[in-house]
Structure 1
Amino acid sequence: MSIRYLKHEEIDKLKWDKCINRSFNGIVYAYSWYLDIVSYQWEALVLDDYDAVMPLPVRKNYTIPSLKQPNFTWQLGIFTSKLLDEKLVVTFLNAIPEKFRKIELAFNAFNKVVHPKYQIKNEFTYQLDLITPYKEIYQGFSPETKEAIKRTKTNKIQIVKQVNLKDFLLLKKHTGKAPLTFENLNMLRRIIPFTISYNLGEVFGAYSAENDLVAAAFFIKSHQKSILLLSACSDYGHEIRANVAIANSYIREYAERNITLDFGNDEKEDSKLFAKGFGAIPVSYPYLKKSNWLVNIWFKKEKIFLL
């Protein structure tokens, strides 16, 4: 068994994507085209002839090399179609070059991590299996969610698929508590059209009775999993629960299919309650951190300098 560290230009992306495609724990974030968008010049660890792979999202804007979880990428880690046990995970972690002095990475739910050199905590996402009929799934909705669905019908909310990208991003820009940066906007302008053109993504929108876009959500899918990657909702949209109408419409459309809806890893309590309201259950995945006090001091000074 041999694990190789590869620079970006050394990665065989055809073999890489074949590995991700056949991995039992594959996820859309791990495909080379997605990594090219969210982590320019990412590097990798590769087992033998791409039997298992681990992307290394390199942070290039600091003098000290670091690995940082990219935006719009909730989970990465190790991907394989082979046996994936704790021993293999440790072997990959030990193969990360020592030059990466600061590491903050979210692994996927199938990577069981125990390592003395890393601080490890469990993060959570919320998932809902859609394989059963809609009526059965609906029975698992909370009373509050059922009431919200009734309210959206009273307010004549209309759900439309494939909302215009510009309209979606404008809604997000004007309604988000944390405004999208120029870098993030550019990422989304590449991710969303690409996934839609290859039938991997959909943007659902909610329109008011006055034909105003009051909520929208972008779903991205692969490996029998659909992820709510990004959403936006105006004040009026929140008032009439337009976001609930979108999620309900998506669940109704994809019910009785072998798909798991992932509501994402938003840590805000409102987002957790939103997912739980549809009967979604928490699924944990490990978040790893590694650094030393000298590196932490340097990063703090660097941030002050950048400000």
Structure 2
Amino acid sequence: MIQFVKHNDVDTEKWDKCIRKSVNCLPYAFSWYLDIVVSQWDALVLNDYEAVFPLPCKSKYKITYSITPFWVQQLGLFSLTCSSFSRVNEFIEAIPNSYRYIDLNMNFNTHLSPASFSKIRTNNNFVIPLDKPYSAVKKGYSKNLLRNLKKGNSNNLQLFKNDSPNSLINLFRSDKGKYLKHFRDEDYKRLETIMHVAVHKNCGQILMVYGEGNRLLAGMFLVFSPRRVVLLFTGNSDEGRALGAMPFLIDSFFKESANSGIVFDFEGSNNHDLAQFYKSFGAVNESYQNLKINRLPSVLKYFK
């Protein structure tokens, strides 16, 4: 039986065990991660936590809604067995009517029928399995990427592990962040908390690239689940781009993690240029769906 469970009644030990052992485990769905990115989340639970469906919860003007939080790409249904995914429609139908507006990204293993739900959008997400030797992984690299790696290797770039979260965040804010006005201070604060907690739990890692004169060029933050590592956040600089620092950084991780069996998740992208960059490593598209359900009163419905 699928039950709706309020946030305070969720058994987080059973919840996290279900996420950890699920066939489609993603780091976003662990209770500690959800607690950081949203002030409240409720849940749909099958039997004794055999499958779970997180519902991030917000309220405005006494209207409750559920949207995918910042720093989360995919949620949806997580299950110990593949058989539960055929019941995804039942889970969505079990979302209480008190949730008047829903805008949630499903995960790569949750497939909705357009015939059942009118507003479904498919998004791109590129991944590469690191289940073979590095030499085999490198065979999938594009010629342009190989040229950039050669450039990076000739510029005496140095890889540094476990730098501070603020170093990476400030690098981003001084570069691309200057132009992304929808990033708020509280979003960066939540990201910093995710980084600190993940590193403390041994499921997060910050990797940086420095050039000559100890100049910070590029960096990335990775968050791990048992079978997947997600590229959650990156920072770059004009000099880093010129010296091929980001390709050098990702390639360095691939060298260390080849034959590990984990999936490297680039966490995107619908952006053409980013998609081409990810594909240059031999990544393939593992798409996911976005679901919108609008139960707002008629006077508000057309504002969404």
Q: Indicate whether the TM-score tops 0.5.
A: yes
- Encode CA deviations 1:89-128: one digit per residue, 9 max, x unaligned: 0110110011212111111111121253441121111011
Unaligned runs of 5+ in 1: 300-307
Aligned residue in 2 for 1:295: 300
- Encode CA deviations 1:40-98: one digit per residue, 9 max, x unaligned: 11111111111111000112345321110011111100111124355410110110011
* Alpha-carbon distance in structure 2 between the residues aligned to 1:113 and 1:69: 17
Which is worse superposed, 179-188 or 230-239? 179-188
User: Contact (CA 8 Å) 1:52, 1:80: kept in 2 or not?
Assistant: yes
Residues 1:236 and 1:61: Cα distance change in structure 2 (over 3 Å): farther
Task: Provide the aligned length of Structure 1 versus Structure 2.
Answer: 298
* Alpha-carbon distance in structure 2 between the residues aligned to 1:212 and 1:61: 45
Aligned residue in 2 for 1:40: 39
Question: Could you say what secondary structure the match of 1:129 adopts?
Answer: strand
Question: Could you say what secondary structure the match of 1:72 adopts?
Answer: coil
- Encode CA deviations 1:169-213: one digit per residue, 9 max, x unaligned: 111111123153111112112110111122111111011112111
Q: TM-score, normalised by structure 2?
A: 0.93
Aligned residue in 1 for 2:285: 282
Identity of aligned residues (%): 32
Aligned with 1:255 (options 252, 258, 262): 258
Deviation at 1:223, TM superposition (A): 2.4
User: Contact (CA 8 Å) 2:126, 2:269: kept in 1 or not?
Assistant: no
Residues 1:62 and 1:267: Cα distance change in structure 2 (over 3 Å): farther
Say whether 1:191 aligns with 2:194.
yes
Residues 1:219 and 1:86: Cα distance change in structure 2 (over 3 Å): closer
Root-mean-square deviation over aligned CA pairs: 1.6
Aligned positions of 1:220-235 closer than 5 A: 220-235=223-238
Aligned residue in 2 for 1:25: 24
* Alpha-carbon distance in structure 1 between the residues aligned to 2:270 and 2:160: 28
Say whether 1:164 aligns with 2:169.
no
- Encode CA deviations 1:118-161: one digit per residue, 9 max, x unaligned: 41121111011111111111111000000000111122211111
Question: Aligned partner of 1:30: which letter?
Answer: A
User: Contact (CA 8 Å) 1:206, 1:246: kept in 2 or not?
Assistant: yes
Aligned residue in 2 for 1:142: 142
Residues 1:52 and 1:272: Cα distance change in structure 2 (over 3 Å): same
Question: Could you say what secondary structure the match of 1:104 adopts?
Answer: strand
* Alpha-carbon distance in structure 2 between the residues aligned to 1:49 and 1:71: 29
Question: Could you say what secondary structure the match of 1:66 adopts?
Answer: strand
User: Contact (CA 8 Å) 2:123, 2:269: kept in 1 or not?
Assistant: no
Question: Could you say what secondary structure the match of 2:36 adopts?
Answer: helix
Residues 1:117 and 1:130: Cα distance change in structure 2 (over 3 Å): closer
Unaligned runs of 5+ in 2: none
Which is worse superposed, 117-126 or 90-99? 117-126
Question: Could you say what secondary structure the match of 1:187 adopts?
Answer: helix
Aligned residue in 2 for 1:153: 153
Question: Could you say what secondary structure the match of 1:264 adopts?
Answer: coil
Question: Aligned partner of 2:236: which letter?
Answer: C
